[in-house]
Amino acid sequence: MRLHLRGCRPISPRRAYVIIIPLLLLLVVGAALTSLLPSPEDGVLGVLRRRANISRVIQPERATKLWDSLGPHPVPVVFKEQSSNRMRNRLQPFAEIETDAVLMLDDDTLVSAPDISFAFSVWKQFSDQIVGFVPRKHVTTASGVYSYGSFELQDPDVGGGDRYSMVLVGAAFFHRRFLELFQTQPAEMHALLDETQNCDDIAMNFVVARELSGLRRPSGVFVKPVDMRNLEKEASSGYVGMWHRAEHLLQRSHCLNRLARIYGGMPLHYSNIMISQFGFPSYGNHKSRS
């Protein structure tokens, strides 16, 4: 089984957009293509633009040459130019993806090589699920409306936040066949993602959960990272991610309810399993130490 990494990031907020498909963990991976993303002058793409003295749009062919000029790389990088700014662009089944495993990382997330290697070994055991570092959950309110949140969100059934029902694809491994399956989903689902410029990671959990519906298994497996960093917080770049928006959590709760209606029910199942390099604790232990 070979390792493949994939992701996306915008070059210009008004012109062409590119999706970067490296086969190596680094910073330029898996971002939401919205105007809330960091300036094109930040990060590796900014380096490429400054090297090329390009005023507006970097050409894919030239970008590849510039990437190579930054130093020797063990694997190639492919730039995929996009004609539209859509959050779901990163979930396309590009022909260049030859491996079964796809690793997607948001561009503000840095995960250590040992964590990546360990998660990949876990994914090989759970290749029909999303294996990643960021768990989330849904709960049902008294009125029957779904709410979205992290483990702090109280669950009426158990009274605490010791389980999850989603693993976000912004820092996760999943099988490339889910990219193809994602394209066959109802048009209403794709329209929801385009309307909100959000929730593609939630939708992918729905896709995987529905594939596992007969087994009643959760869509994801949570791997506890030892060293995962948020570059927005640590780089002092001034970048403000879309999750800072006041309406972000409300919008994601809205997506949960819309997706449940589109699919005729809630396919997500809960799990309290956390796989760690230093044992096999429960998710409740993770909560108490975070």
CB 4 within 8 Å of CB 93: no
CB 112 within 8 Å of CB 226: yes
Phi, psi of 19 (to 5 degrees): -120, 125
- Marked catalytic residue, from 115, 155, 201, 227: 201
CB 123 within 8 Å of CB 167: no
The structure tokens listed for 229 are: 């960093």
**Does the annotation count 201 as an active-site position?**
yes
In the block, tokens 């699919």 appear at 263
Reported as type and span, the H/E element at residue 102 is strand 101-105
CB 170 within 8 Å of CB 258: no
Catalytic residues: 201
